[in-house]
Every structure is written in structure tokens, then in C-alpha cells.
């Protein structure tokens, strides 16, 4: 079997360098089979913390403006159209950036890709403090929003560090705690503004100074990634490419295998209606509560924050649910879970648009809605790692980019100018969520099945992933990682699929048992 | 984990519901269209004049309209600075509303003066445009207020002859410098790490 020589090659090289001892139990791919949330064990958990925090900072920067809009709109004389356009701009930059990030991760690794992106977009955050016109406002929001592509690198990084039984959870927590930034900032910015204002600054200066907080957070989190992070358990891409442990793939091949996989496209669409909706709400909710219910800046901030803050447990909860469903029902469970949770989210969104007559009801429904829509995001990324192995980065990028496209479209149709009242826009957005979640029924894996159809007899995961490599490439062993991945994904066949096989993957390293993981 | 989640969720909802300040309840409703236009108001800036926030001054003068009825109920005059229609278009947060409690067009208080019945009801006030007045076009409206604080009459300078205010930008040189310095630092940090990587690779 080709997997063994490749794995042993890695180990051999490691032995020559001094074999790295991992504190965590790992599979044949050196990916962790456990997830210890409160640990910083290198490289797996350390990577997790760096990934989620740097992504969190990008979210904070991207959504730093909305809670300060009541001040910014007066300073710059913005109209509702200006604000809508900037909101759209803030999420459209990342559409293509996420695709590019996916490719970059496939080619140069998540560490360099994410740090470069984050450090290159930080100047836009600092410059947000010196804007003087509606067009400048639009530009800074556009360039700052590009940093949201760091989502892809975070997910890619987690998929490289964590094995199949834990990848949904790892992706869910990293994504959720990152998205948390969009909520935390709604609370953070009004408080920072208040503090600066109290120190003696005039309102029109205080909001400008406030932008330095997200800027500095972003700069230093990216530096930490560069200084302390590594791409894979075995090391960084550069060294792995050099030693021959890892095949350096070509952009053309990675692109072809991503674009021709219909599952990537469907997930891109559905992600647009969970994550895209989340981004839209991040942009719209503060002003909605401030203007509709006449609460003050800080109160609107608290309410808006509670939407994003639900991410602490909702998205990880989605990932956990996905992993749990997989342990009982395999991939089919993951698919059903995603469709159900996202559809309920859509229903709650419609309800939110309808209960605008009551402040208390609006808040309550919004909190419930946030849990479901964010859990759906977690469930989506429980499925993404399995769509492709060769083009994992680009598929993650397509899905992530699709999320942003959904945000652009939704904001453009429903929250732009004064055509629809905000509550009406929210109601229609809910209907769109329900409609655009239906395509999930079309996703089918030959080896694991789809929502309504079972797996094809005799189809294997190894076949599915090896299909991405040509005969010639397979002979050379380029697909070694895919084969290992297929082996470690046996559990996606559900209880019957993995019957006779151990529920957990084979640890290569006889590490001590977990002291307390999640 | 599910049970903890449900408990946490309920707690959040209850706390939010209980802890949040309620939107203010409505007082006696007053409608602008029902108020008599008993005051004549004029302002010193002419149409198109630009006043600088924090520096320039405007003088507002009011007097009872000759054809108005009794002014016995007028106890004080409340003068407000209002956004002109041009500055209200496409800005829902400045929308004018006939119900004065919901009206958002007149957000800035200029002054509240006792109604000088003895001086024939005439009054004047010099107002230095406050520093937090944003850049926009404005007109001035004066309400005659009775003892309970309810508006009973009004007058305003012509919204079509609005004057402009140039608000402060809030930008100081130190902000520009700081933005430049930190931006450069971020790019430099990235370049630094790339150079270090290249050196390690070439070794």
C-alpha cells in the first residue's frame, strides 16, 4: 500500500531531524485525534488558538464601523445609499480574496497566506481614522473586508491539524470564535468610543481614535502567526516541499479539481445563506435597533453584540453536532443536520421580520435566530473537508467566498437605500434562506450516500479521493496524503460503514491518553 | 452540552429582556400640523451662507405673528436647529414626522428662553454653532411652550432658504501621523519575516 511508505518516509525524515513528540494523540497523517480546548499544546492546539484569534481580529476590524455609524454618518454626511453601498463593499472584497486564499493555502501554506493577507489589509483599518468623504468610507470598508478571507486559511489550517473525528469541531470552534469578532466589536467600539470621549475628545475625533484598537489587534495577531505558527504537524510547507515529504502541486490542477466538483458549488450557495446572512445582520442590526426602537448607542451595541456573541457556542455546537451525527449516521447525518438547522434558521429570520412591533420579542427571536444560523455555518464546515482532498483549500475558499456573495446579494436586494424597510428586508431574507438551502438534497457521495439516496455498493473513499489524481501521478505517490485521508475517513460511512473497524483512527504515536479534552 | 446550551440561552434572553433600558414611553402627543403658526422667526445667515461649527454665530429673532390669537398660554420659547429637506433625503434617521415626539428632523437645541410677554413677545438670541453640529443645511424653528412643557405654537425660518453649517472633521495631524506610522510598521513586519524565511531557506 502506498500510504505506508509515505508515512514512514515522513517519520524517517523526522527521525533524522529528531522525531517531534506530539503531546496529543495523532493519526497516520500526524493530525490530532483529540481537541483540547484549553491547551496550547504545539503544534495542534497552538495553531488553533492563533488561527481563531487572528481571524477574530479581522472580523473586529471589518465590522468596527457599523456600531459607530450614528456618529460616522453625521461626520461624513452619509446617506442611506452610501451606508448600504459600503456595507456591500465590506463583504464583497472577500469574495475573490477567499478563492485566492484557498489557492494560496494549497500552494504556500496557511501560515504565510493568512499573515500576509492580514498585515496587508491592516493599513486600511488605520486609514479609517482619517477618512473625510462617503467614497473614502466605502474604500476603507472594502479593503478592510478583504481580511475576512483569513477564514479560509483558518479552516484550512484546522483541517490540516485535526483528524476526521474532530475536524468538524475544530473548524466549528475556530470559525465560531473568529466570527465572534463581528459580535464583540458591536459592544467594544461603543465602549472604546465612550472611554475616549470621556477623556475629553470631541465625538467626531473619538470615533476616529477608536479605529486604532482593531488595527493594533490585527497587526499583532498576524505577527504572532508568523513568529509562532507552522503549517502542518510535520513542519512548514517550505521545508516539507524541500525534503520531498510533500508534493508541490500546480495551480492549474488544484483549480480544475475544485471547479469541477459540483458539491463545492452547492455548498458555496448554501453557505451564502447562513454565513452570508450572518454578515448581513452584522452590518444591519445595530442601526436597525438604534433607529427602530430608539435605544442609545451602547444598548444597540449590546443587542447587536448578542447576535455575534452567540458564536461562542453556536458555531462550535454546529461542528460538534455534525461530528456526532456522523458518528451515528455518517455523512448522511451531516447532510440532514445541515439542511434541518439552516431551514429552521430561515423560519426564525422570517419571524424576526414579523415581530418588529415588539422590542422584547425582537431581541428574543434574534438571539434564537443567531444560534441556528451560526450552527448551520459550523455544520457546513463539517462537510467541506470531505468534498476534496487535493483542492481542499480552494473548495474551502469557494464555500467561504460563496458566503460573502450571499452577503453582497442579500444586502444589495434588501438593505440598500430606502426601498424596503429593514424589518421587511429581514422577512424576505428569511424566505430566501429557506429556498437556497434546498439544494443540499442534491449532494451525493458515492461512498457514503446523500440525503435521500444511500451509498453505491462497492464505492470506496479511497477511489473517490484518488479520482482527483491521474494514473501517472498516483504511480509517483503524489496522492499519498489523499490515501491517508481516505483511510482516516472510514467513519463517514456511519455505523454500518465502519463496522468491523475501530471507531477511532490508529494513533501512530503512543502518547499518553487525553487529560481532558472536548 | 445541549442542556448547558439551553440554560445559557434562556439566561441570556432573560437578562437581555430584563436588563435593557426600555425605549421611552410616549408623552402627550403633539402634531405639528395642528399647531398654529403664531411666531415669526428669522435668522441672520442668508440662504447659502456657511457657518463654521464652534466658531461662527447666528442670531435668531422671534416675535408673535400679528394675526395670531392670544399668547397668554406662552410661557417659554424653545428654539431648535432643524435639518433642511435637502439634508434629510435618503437619511431615515433624520426623518421629519408630524408627531413631534417621533420627529427626528429637529435634533439640536439652540436655547430655551422665557416668553417676554411684557416686551411684546419679541426675543432674540445669539447662538454660537456648537462643535458637534454636523455638516448639513439647516433652518431654525421656535416652539411656544406652555407651563406643562407642551408645545402650543411654533414658527420657523424658511426651510427653502436654508443656511449651511460646516462641521468639524475631527481629524488632527497626530491622527494622520499615527495612521501612517502603524500602517508602515505592519507592512515592514511582513517584509521582515519574508526576508528571514528566505535566509533560512537559502541556508
Q: Domains of chain A (ranges plus CATH)?
A: 38-244 (1.20.1250.20), 249-494 (1.20.1250.20)
- Judge: B93–A207 Cβ closer than 8 Å, yes or no: no
Nearest-CA residue of chain A relative to B89? A79
- Whether residue A516 is predicted with pLDDT greater than 60 in this model: the reply is no
Res A426 pLDDT > 90: yes
pLDDT score recorded for residue A347? 96
Q: What is the mean pLDDT of residues A115-124?
A: 96
Q: Do A115 and B190 touch (CB under 8 A)?
A: yes
End-to-end CA distance of chain B: 50
From B176's Cα to the closest Cα of chain A, the distance in A is: 6
How much is the pLDDT for A501? 40
Would you state the torsion angle of the CA atoms of residues A291, A88, A379, A164, taken in this order, to the nearest 10 degrees?
-140
- Which residues does chain B have within 8 Å of residue A223's beta carbon, measured at their own beta carbons? 189, 193
pLDDT over threshold 50, residue B91: yes
Best residue in A172, A204, A237, A303 for a mutation probing chain B (most B CBs within 10 Å): A204
- Taking CB atoms and an 8 Å cutoff, what residues of chain B touch A227? 193
Output the pLDDT for position A160: 86
Residues of A in contact with B171 (CB under 8 A): 130, 132, 205, 208
> Which cell is A53 given?
484569534
**What CATH number is associated with residue B66?**
2.60.40.2550
pLDDT at B148: 87
Sorted by sequence, the CB contacts under 8 Å of residue B193 that are 6+ apart come out as A115, A223, A226, A227
Instruction: Select from B16, B93, B169 the Cβ nearest to the Cβ of A132.
Output: B169
B167/A364 Cβ within 8 A:
no
Question: Sign of the C-alpha dihedral, residues A124, A126, A131, A137?
Answer: positive
Do residues A140 and A208 make contact, with C-beta atoms less than 8 angstroms apart? no
Yes or no: say if B68 and B38 are a contact pair by the CB < 8 Å rule.
yes
Residue B27 burial (C-beta neighbours within 10 Å; 0-12, 13-18, 19+): exposed
Q: How many domains does chain B have?
A: 1
Q: Which residues pair with B165 in a beta bridge?
A: B51, B136
Residue A73: pLDDT over 90: yes
The answer to whether the Cβ–Cβ distance between A219 and B185 falls below 8 Å is: yes
Cβ contacts of B17 on chain A, cutoff 8 Å = 360, 363-364
pLDDT attached to residue A502: 39
Q: Which residues pair with B40 in a beta bridge?
A: B63
Q: Using the CB atoms, write b or e for B93-113: b if 16+ within 10 Å.
A: bbeeeeebeebbbbebebeeb
Using a CB–CB cutoff of 8 Å, tell me whether B29 touches chain A.
Answer: no
pLDDT in tens, A333-370: 999 999 999 999 999 999 999 998 889 999 999 999 99
Q: What is the mean pLDDT of chain A?
A: 84
Q: What is the least distance, in Å, from the CA of A282 to any CA of chain B? A: 18
pLDDT surpassing 60 at residue B23:
no
Mutation target to probe the A interface, by most A beta carbons within 10 A, among B88, B92, B165 is B92
Instruction: Give, as one character, the DSSP assignment of residue B52.
Output: E
pLDDT of residue A515: 37
C-alpha cell at B10: 434562556
How many Å lie between the alpha carbon of B141 and the closest alpha carbon of chain A? 20
pLDDT over 80 at A27, yes or no? yes
Contact flag A132-B190 (C-beta cutoff 8 Å) = no
- Report residue B138 as a C-alpha cell: 439647516
Least confident range from A24-38, A128-142, A434-448, B38-52: namely: A24-38
> Cα(B159)–Cα(B179) distance, rounded to whole angstroms?
40
Interface contact A242-B201, CB threshold 8 A: yes
Q: Is the pLDDT of residue A20 over 60?
A: no
- Average pLDDT of span A381-396: 85
Q: Is A369 within 8 Å of chain B by CB? A: no
pLDDT band at residue A236, thresholds of 50, 70 and 90? confident
Query: How far is residue A464 from each of residues A337, A387, A478, B188, measured CA to CA in Å?
Result: 23, 9, 15, 44
Among A69, A144, A80, which residue's Cα sits nearest to residue A301? Answer: A69
C-alpha cell at A217: 489587534
Spatial separation of the C-alpha atoms in residues A372 and A347, rounded to whole Å: 10
Q: Is A54 on the interface with B (CB under 8 A)?
A: no
Q: Does B174 touch chain A (CB under 8 A)?
A: no
Cβ-based contacts of B185 with chain A (< 8 Å): 219
The pLDDT value recorded for residue A506 is 34
> Is A127–B179 a contact, with Cβ atoms under 8 angstroms apart?
yes
How many residues does this entry show for chain A? 518
Structure confidence at residue A9 (pLDDT): 42
Which residues in chain A have Cβ-Cβ distances shorter than 8 Å to B166? none
How does the average pLDDT of chain B come out, rounded? 84
Please return the burial class of B132, using the count of CB atoms within 10 Å of its CB with bins 0-12, 13-18 and 19+.
middle
pLDDT of residue A155: 86
Of A75, A116, A317, the CB nearest to B190: A116
Q: What is the mean pLDDT of residues A384-389?
A: 87
Mean pLDDT along residues A288-314: 87
Quick check: is B137 in a domain? yes
pLDDT confidence of residue A156: 87
pLDDT at site B166 = 92
Q: What is the pLDDT of residue A239?
A: 65
In chain A, count H helices and then E strands: 23, 2
A281 reaches B (C-beta below 8 A) = no
B23 part of a folded domain: no
Q: Residue A172 pLDDT > 90, yes or no?
A: no
Q: Does the distance separating the beta carbons of A367 and B12 come in below 8 Å?
A: yes
* Band (A240; pLDDT cuts 50, 70, 90): low
B16 and A367 in contact by Cβ < 8 A? yes
B16 touches chain A (CB under 8 A): yes
* CA separation for the pair A308, B160 (Å, rounded): 44
Q: Is residue B182 in a domain? A: no
Q: Which domain holds residue B153?
A: 32-166
How high is the pLDDT of residue A146?
95
Instruction: Decide if A435 touches B, using CB distance below 8 A.
Output: no
Quickly state the pLDDT bin for A320 (edges 50, 70, 90): confident
* Predicted local distance difference test score (pLDDT) of residue A11: 44
The DSSP string of A101-170 is: HHHHHHHH-HHHHHHHHHHHHHHHHHHGGG--SHHHHHHHHHHHHGGGGHHHHHHHHHHHHB-HHHHHHH
> Residue A1: pLDDT band by 50, 70, 90 thresholds?
very low
pLDDT score, position A69: 92
pLDDT at site A366 = 92
pLDDT of residue A500: 40
Q: How many CA atoms lie within 13 A of A410 on its CB side?
A: 35
Indicate yes or no: CB of B5 within 8 angstroms of CB of A205: no
Mean pLDDT value of segment A198-226: 92
Section A433-458 average pLDDT:
91
The answer to whether residue A381 scores a pLDDT higher than 50 is: yes
Angle, helices A275-292/A392-414, rounded to nearest 10 degrees: 30
Which range (A47-56, A245-254, A283-292, B151-160) has the least confidence? A245-254
Torsion of CA B90, B96, B101, B107, to 10 degrees: 80
The answer for residues whose C-beta is within 8 angstroms of residue A392's C-beta and 6 or more apart is A106, A156, A159, A385
Amino acid at each position: 500500500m502506498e500510504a505506508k511508505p509515505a508515512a514512514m518516509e515522513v517519520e524517517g525524515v523526522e527521525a533524522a531531524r529528531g522525531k517531534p513528540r506530539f503531546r496529543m494523540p495523532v493519526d497516520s497523517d500526524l493530525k490530532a485525534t483529540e481537541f483540547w480546548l484549553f491547551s496550547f499544546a504545539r503544534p495542534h492546539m497552538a495553531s488553533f488558538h492563533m488561527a481563531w484569534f487572528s481571524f477574530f481580529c479581522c472580523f473586529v476590524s471589518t465590522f468596527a464601523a457599523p456600531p459607530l455609524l450614528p456618529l460616522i454618518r453625521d461626520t461624513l454626511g452619509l446617506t442611506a445609499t452610501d451606508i448600504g453601498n459600503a456595507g456591500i463593499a465590506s463583504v464583497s472584497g472577500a469574495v475573490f480574496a477567499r478563492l485566492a486564499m484557498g489557492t494560496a493555502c494549497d500552494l504556500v501554506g496557511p501560515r504565510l497566506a493568512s499573515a500576509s493577507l492580514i498585515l496587508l489589509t491592516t493599513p486600511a483599518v488605520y486609514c479609517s481614522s482619517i477618512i473625510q468623504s462617503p467614497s473614502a468610507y466605502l474604500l476603507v470598508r472594502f479593503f478592510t473586508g478583504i481580511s475576512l478571507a483569513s477564514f479560509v486559511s483558518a479552516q484550512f489550517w484546522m483541517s490540516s491539524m485535526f483528524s476526521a473525528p474532530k475536524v468538524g469541531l475544530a473548524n466549528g470552534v475556530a470559525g465560531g470564535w473568529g466570527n465572534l469578532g463581528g459580535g464583540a466589536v458591536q459592544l467594544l467600539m461603543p465602549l472604546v468610543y465612550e472611554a475616549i470621549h470621556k477623556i475629553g475628545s470631541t465625538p467626531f475625533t473619538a470615533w476616529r481614535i477608536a479605529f486604532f484598537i482593531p488595527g493594533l489587534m490585527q497587526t499583532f495577531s498576524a505577527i504572532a502567526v508568523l513568529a509562532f505558527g507552522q503549517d502542518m504537524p510535520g513542519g512548514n510547507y517550505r521545508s516539507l516541499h524541500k525534503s520531498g515529504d510533500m508534493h508541490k502541486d500546480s495551480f492549474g490542477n488544484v483549480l480544475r479539481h475544485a471547479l469541477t466538483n459540483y458539491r463545492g458549488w452547492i455548498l458555496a450557495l448554501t453557505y451564502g445563506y447562513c454565513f452570508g446572512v450572518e454578515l448581513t445582520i452584522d452590518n444591519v442590526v445595530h442601526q436597525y435597533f438604534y433607529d427602530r426602537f430608539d435605544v442609545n448607542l451602547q444598548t444597540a451595541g449590546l443587542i447587536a453584540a448578542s447576535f455575534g456573541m452567540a458564536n461562542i457556542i453556536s458555531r462550535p455546537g454546529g461542528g460538534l453536532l455534525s461530528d456526532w451525527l456522523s458518528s451515528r449516521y455518517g455523512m448522511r447525518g451531516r447532510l440532514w443536520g445541515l439542511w434541518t438547522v439552516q431551514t429552521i434558521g430561515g423560519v426564525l429570520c422570517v419571524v424576526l421580520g414579523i415581530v418588529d412591533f415588539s422590542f422584547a420579542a425582537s431581541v428574543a427571536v434574534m438571539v434564537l435566530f443567531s444560534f441556528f444560523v451560526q450552527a448551520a455555518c459550523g455544520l457546513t464546515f463539517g462537510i467541506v473537508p470531505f468534498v476534496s482532498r487535493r483542492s481542499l483549500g480552494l473548495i474551502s475558499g469557494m464555500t467561504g467566498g460563496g458566503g460573502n456573495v450571499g452577503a453582497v446579494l442579500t444586502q444589495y436586494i434588501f438593505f440598500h437605500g430606502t426601498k424596503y424597510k429593514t424589518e421587511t428586508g429581514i422577512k424576505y431574507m428569511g424566505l430566501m434562506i429557506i429556498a437556497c438551502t434546498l439544494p443540499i438534497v442534491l449532494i451525493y457521495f458515492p461512498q457514503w450516500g446523500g440525503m435521500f439516496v444511500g451509498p453505491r455498493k462497492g464505492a470506496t473513499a479511497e477511489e473517490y479521493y484518488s479520482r482527483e489524481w491521474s494514473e501517472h501521478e498516483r504511480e509517483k505517490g503524489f496522492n499519498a496524503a489523499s490515501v491517508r485521508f481516505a483511510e482516516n475517513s472510514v467513519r463517514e460511512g456511519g455505523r454500518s460503514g465502519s463496522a468491523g473497524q475501530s471507531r477511532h483512527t490508529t494513533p501512530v504515536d503512543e502518547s499518553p491518553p487525553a487529560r481532558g479534552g472536548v | 452540552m445541549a442542556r448547558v446550551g439551553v440554560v445559557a440561552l434562556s439566561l441570556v434572553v432573560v437578562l437581555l429582556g430584563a436588563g435593557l433600558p426600555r425605549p421611552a414611553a410616549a408623552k402627550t402627543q403633539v402634531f405639528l400640523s395642528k399647531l398654529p403658526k403664531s411666531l415669526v422667526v428669522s435668522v441672520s445667515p442668508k440662504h447659502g451662507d456657511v457657518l463654521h461649527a464652534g466658531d461662527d454665530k447666528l442670531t435668531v429673532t422671534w416675535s408673535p405673528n400679528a394675526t395670531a390669537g392670544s399668547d397668554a398660554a406662552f410661557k417659554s420659547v424653545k428654539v431648535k436647529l432643524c435639518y433642511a429637506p435637502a439634508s434629510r433625503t435618503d437619511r431615515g434617521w433624520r426623518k421629519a414626522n408630524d408627531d413631534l415626539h417621533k420627529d427626528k428632523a429637529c435634533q439640536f437645541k439652540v436655547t430655551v428662553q422665557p416668553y417676554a410677554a411684557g416686551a411684546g413677545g419679541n426675543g432674540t438670541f445669539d447662538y454660537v454653532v456648537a462643535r458637534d453640529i454636523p455638516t448639513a443645511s439647516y433652518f431654525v424653528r421656535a416652539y411656544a411652550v406652555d407651563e406643562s412643557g407642551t408645545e402650543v405654537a411654533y414658527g420657523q425660518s424658511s426651510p427653502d432658504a436654508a443656511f449651511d453649517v460646516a462641521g468639524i472633521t475631527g481629524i488632527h495631524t497626530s491622527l494622520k501621523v499615527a495612521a501612517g506610522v502603524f500602517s508602515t510598521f505592519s507592512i515592514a513586519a511582513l517584509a521582515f519575516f519574508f526576508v528571514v524565511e528566505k535566509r533560512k531557506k537559502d541556508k
